[in-house]
Amino acid sequence: MALRSKFDPELQGLSKNFRLTKCTGLHGGGCKVPREVLQKLLEDFGQSQYKEEHFMGGMIMPRLGIGMDTCVIPLRFGGLSLLQTTDFFYPLVDDPYMMGKIACANVLSDMYAMGVIECDNMLMLLGVSSKLSETERDVVVPLMIRGFKDCADVAGTSITGGQTVLNPWCLIGGVGTSVCQPNEFIMPDNAVPGDVLVLTKPLGTQVACVAHQWLDQAADKWNRIKLIINEEECEKSYHDAMFIMSRLNRTAAQLMHRYGSHGATDITGFGILGHAQNLVKQQRNEVNFIIHNLPCINKMAAVAKACGAMFGLLQGTSAETSGGLLICMQREEAAKYCTEIKKIDGHQAWIIGIVEKGDRTARIIDKPRIIEVETLDDGTVQSIPPVTTTRRSSQIKPQITTPLKQPRLETSEPVSAHMDQAVSSAPSQEIPITTVTSVHDGEVAELTQIDGTVQLLQCGDQFQQQQAVGQVQYQQ
């Protein structure tokens, strides 16, 4: 996939100082009303009326209303359901064409989170900023519309109407509608203990866009991060974020059917933790979601950390725009899913957490593993290979709250095929680590031991187990 060159306003007949993001005071998914406030505001709609299945026309029809990505309304005829969503936000990138594509992809992601592959119709919502001059309006608005339409064309849908108004701030979004048979969508409520959580896009889009604005404006806040990320790296992270946000989750939705998704949501304005909490509340079973790993656009975790509580990226509360799908599925199927999506699209997906028995809460562990991610020259999104060193286990002081009294490695048993629990053991000065290696491309999928359970951190292709006897691989 060829990447689009940087937007140059002068080539479009605009002032070199023109910035689309100056036409708004809020940006992207960061414009959302806080999740807790929104839930209180929506109480009068009576969300519970949509949570139960309904008997219509001799069939049991699922129904879903306010609270998740897409409403599911049984139609009166033919055992069909109407799935519909709407979304809009303010510009967070300065390229109007890319902003249109991002807005369209963001609307469609709500449908894809339900496993809907075909969107039957779209409407476009457009607010033209009253701050734009006539020349700026005549250049910027057609570019935004073209980007929105081009993305809809790639998705195989069409735009048949909408609404355009003048507004102090520029905004763009739309409505997506699909009429589906029962097997064409997946209700987001069937997670079971033992499932894992898969994420299809990296986090950090808001951080990348804000950091780029600081760089562009030579703001004082740039001084806070310039020792962490240089100008070239900041430009690339921003560029990567634009293409990640404009990418459709359509393949991810297709594969949800093939590999038996138990439910999904897309990651947008509430951050990964907020959307994980929304999803876990919908589950029929009493489960918890535990997130161990956070794939992030390269350098964005360090930037967010340097900015204190400003973003909340490591806490899972940083807003995302047109983010990936967070999917619950069986552990074995998740590895196959990640392999397949990489084979089809070239983009990597990650297993980031587990589903366990609980009380319908979601959390991120205290020190999640950060997976640095970048977009390569061919447009594919991949993890940056970690720098690893092999050390003698006697040199490592593992942080274990209770002593482990275990038999020697030579007699240890292999990790089970499902990788649910480490049964191998060692003397207290040695820690047995099992690595899982991708047969296809040699990519190592690392394991971590948490509360006595070995968890898969990153999925590759087809897996084989290897015992690391007497040595431990640690990431620096």
Q: What is the 3-state secondary structure (H, E, C) of the chain?
A: CCCCCCCCHHHHCCCCCCCHHHHCCCCEHHHCCCHHHHHHHCHHHCHHHHCCCEEECCEEECCECECECCEEEECCCCCCEEEEEEEEEECCCCCHHHHHHHHHHHHHHHHHCCCCCCCCEEEEEEEEECCCCHHHHHHHHHHHHHHHHHHHHHCCCCEEEEEEEEECCCEEEEEEEEEECHHHCCCCCCCCCCCEEEECCCECHHHHHHHHHHHHHCCHHHHHHCCCCCHHHHHHHHHHHHHHHHCCCHHHHHHHHHCCCCEEEECCCCHHHHHHHHHHHCCCCCEEEEEEEEEEECCHHHHHHHCCCCCCCCCCCCCCCCCCEEEEECHHHHHHHHHHHHHHHCCCCEEEEEEEECCCCEEEEEEEEEEEEEECCCCCEEECCCCEEEEEHHHCCCCCCCCCCCCCHHHCCCCCCCCCCCCCCCCCCCCCEEEEEECCCCCEECEEEECCEEEECCCCCCEEEEEECCEEEEEC
Question: Which residue in 23, 31, 71, 296 is the catalytic one?
Answer: 31
* 217 confidence band (pLDDT: 50, 70, 90): confident
Query: Taking 60 as the threshold, does the pLDDT of residue 439 lie above it?
Result: no
- Residue 174, pLDDT above cutoff 90: yes
- For the chain, the average pLDDT equals 81
- Is 31 among the residues known to form the active site? yes
Q: Work out the average pLDDT over 460-472.
A: 32
Question: Confidence class of residue 425 from pLDDT cuts 50, 70 and 90?
Answer: very low
The pTM assigned to this predicted structure is: 0.79
Question: Tens of pLDDT along 48-97?
Answer: 444 455 545 445 556 555 556 788 989 988 889 999 999 988 999 999 99
**Reported confidence tier of residue 42, pLDDT bands at 50, 70, 90:** low
The per-residue pLDDT for range 261-292, each reduced to its tens digit, is 999 999 998 999 999 999 999 999 999 999 99
Query: Does residue 226 register a pLDDT over 90?
Result: yes
pLDDT band of 193, cuts 50, 70, 90: very high
Indicate if the pLDDT at residue 378 is higher than 80.
yes
| Residues 124-142, mean pLDDT to the nearest whole number | 96
pLDDT, tens digit (0-9, with 9 covering 90-100), for 288-337: 999 999 999 999 999 999 999 899 999 999 999 999 999 999 999 999 99
> In which region does residue 194 sit, left (phi positive, over 0), alpha (psi from -120 to 50) or beta (all else)?
left
Q: Which of 8-12, 22-26, 106-110 has the lowest mean pLDDT?
A: 22-26
Percent of the chain topping pLDDT 90: 64
How confident is the model at residue 419, as a pLDDT? 35
